[in-house]
Structure 1
């Protein structure tokens, strides 16, 4: 028997068959064709449902599917399946509906599991033995949004709030960022002021460019301004200057990295039982060694007691391999009743 696993993102839906030896077969991906800005959450859901139905129909009886497991970039209540927010799918729109129950009623007629994509990544790391015999680790993702999950290897579970069923919405913690010198503090996509994600996520970086840097009349006379004129994408413009003249954008890099370093220091201070932190995501991959070096430069200055060696031994930067999430979704389904 096999499990049909799906990874639901804002641009792509990926599918595969998961097997008990942690392998995948019949791996496919499908691009969501929609204009998000012109659709509300209900309209987007109907499109998603139609895609999921078509994808599931491409697997047949010979595949011996006994269960379906979906990994999704959503803030999901682990207790009841309610979705509160999903930047990749619904943008800034707040939602509140039972994703699992709706899928069962409208799309699938087999046992269904729904899991957050970062949680699935934790299970994938565990299934493939990438946890290096830790009893507890955490995963921090920094991309268009920011999320954190803490994972208990021994009991095979994500830690979450026993009442609200959520964990790791760390992107919405307010941060006092000493490197941000503007009078008006940045507004997060959720509407909050000075949130972690307002400084360090892909959307946050776009906002800093649009509402602060570009409003300076001299911006387009700078190397970063020239790069932005050509690239049109903030993270690519920043990467371009980091590769050629890193000193020119050191102030901006400090703004981005300080909240990341502070969150890491807080994690190891509040949760000393966490033996390792895996960090991944689009922003990490785009800015790579420049971001990583700056993180290790700032961490000892923030944490004081812990030195650079302490963090170097506990932090692992990884590429977010989509297969990890699919494997994690399948593994989670295999150990869930």
Structure 2
């Protein structure tokens, strides 16, 4: 169900900005996302001659120009952005993005600048993992599960947990949740510690070993440690023939190439450790979904390697009671199950609905107080009104101080 004022113009311009690609499209209810365009991301990795300030200006220009180009052909005034960055889910302040801007973590008021640069649009911004989780949860609404953890393994690594029962994504006091890619990790190979730099500028983070770029760096490091195994590996041969790294790795794993198996084993270990700890802390995680280019492209290889880790070291006691504990919970997302563009649209629709309902609720509170129907128990200017995300055909409204992102 869409907001009444939205139904006459049921279009949202949507963006999905990752560390590898920028995508844009048009969400039209009930058709979904149409007219999708993709280009290489404007990032420090692909444009090393640009300063971070210039990269951010370039991003702003890209968003405004692309939105205006779409608007030339259709009536649309709402734009929603799924951004691969750590951001404050309450107000949209962007804290940083290793894949896009490297070690820079100066606050970026992208939403404010967009409103100033193109005030003809209503702009919304949401973390890309949150957007993907919104879309996945929409299709999982009929499943008998309590919580979903969505973990993306791509140019960056992060996760989000959604409580399906109240459609709530908890945030800390800084508007964050699930920035696991920058957690420190100790990874060893044959008794020797492995050392790698992360895009954020720090050392030995999960993303340094397990992200797409991290796996490339790890591959080079292992090639130095095992030069003979690398030279005769199927992965080395395919890369020398000019095949893309991701495709070559998948083919090498299909052939059970020893070097590639070692590489995937090491790259997935930090992810397995995170998931094992997550289940130990929160046993209500009934479904764990992996998405992102690395996990989706390697698919069964990736999941089977995770299961190998869990067979070597399971969850204390629980794995003894239930040998299928991890197998029942962990899935690799299918191509149509996690769509950040559609998730961005769902987020914007909910934000607009929230705005309407918060005004209506405030009016009702004022009316009730003026007519002595109730005693006021909230500060009408406090802004403590929240709306759950769209998971079913109905909107579930809450009146709480919770944060949604």
TM-score, reference length from structure 1: 0.87
Match of 2:348 among 308, 333, 336: 333
> What residue number does 2:291 align with?
280
CA RMSD of aligned residues (A): 2.7
> What residue number does 1:251 align with?
262
**Contact in 2 for aligned 1:209/1:234 (Cα 8 Å):** no
Matches within 5 A, 1:214-293: 214=224, 217-218=227-228, 221-223=231-233, 224-231=235-242, 234-293=245-304
> What residue number does 2:312 align with?
301
> What residue number does 1:94 align with?
105
Matches within 5 A, 1:1-337: 1-2=9-10, 3-10=12-19, 11-19=21-29, 21=30, 23-32=31-40, 35-60=46-71, 63-129=74-140, 132-161=143-172, 163-179=173-189, 181-214=191-224, 217-218=227-228, 221-223=231-233, 224-231=235-242, 234-302=245-313, 303-304=315-316, 305-306=318-319, 307-321=322-336, 324-336=339-351, 337=355
Residue by residue, what CA displacement relative to the aligned partner does 1:300-326 show, whole Å, maximum 9, x if unpaired? 332243254111211121135497212
Shift of 1:293: 1.0
Aligned equivalents of 2:334, 2:245: Cα separation in 1 = 21
Aligned equivalents of 2:106, 2:208: Cα separation in 1 = 21
Give unmatched runs, 5+ long, in structure 1: none
Aligned equivalents of 1:165, 1:318: Cα separation in 2 = 26
Shift of 1:28: 2.5
Residue by residue, what CA displacement relative to the aligned partner does 1:77-125 show, whole Å, maximum 9, x if unpaired? 1123221222343244333211111111123433221001110011111
**Contact in 2 for aligned 1:296/1:308 (Cα 8 Å):** no
**Which structure would you say has the larger Rg?**
2
Aligned equivalents of 1:130, 1:106: Cα separation in 2 = 38
Residue by residue, what CA displacement relative to the aligned partner does 1:259-302 show, whole Å, maximum 9, x if unpaired? 12111111111111222111111111332222211111211332
Residue by residue, what CA displacement relative to the aligned partner does 1:129-178 show, whole Å, maximum 9, x if unpaired? 466243321101111111110112333332211x2111111112222335
Aligned equivalents of 1:184, 1:7: Cα separation in 2 = 33
Aligned equivalents of 1:241, 1:181: Cα separation in 2 = 25
Change (3 A) 1:180 1:226: same
The total of aligned residue pairs comes to 334
Give unmatched runs, 5+ long, in structure 2: 1-8, 356-405
Say which SS state the counterpart of residue 285 (structure 2) adopts.
coil
Change (3 A) 1:59 1:14: closer
Residue by residue, what CA displacement relative to the aligned partner does 1:221-265 show, whole Å, maximum 9, x if unpaired? 321433443347554443332122334443322211211211111
Aligned equivalents of 2:126, 2:166: Cα separation in 1 = 17
Between stretches 245-254 and 58-67, larger displacement belongs to 58-67
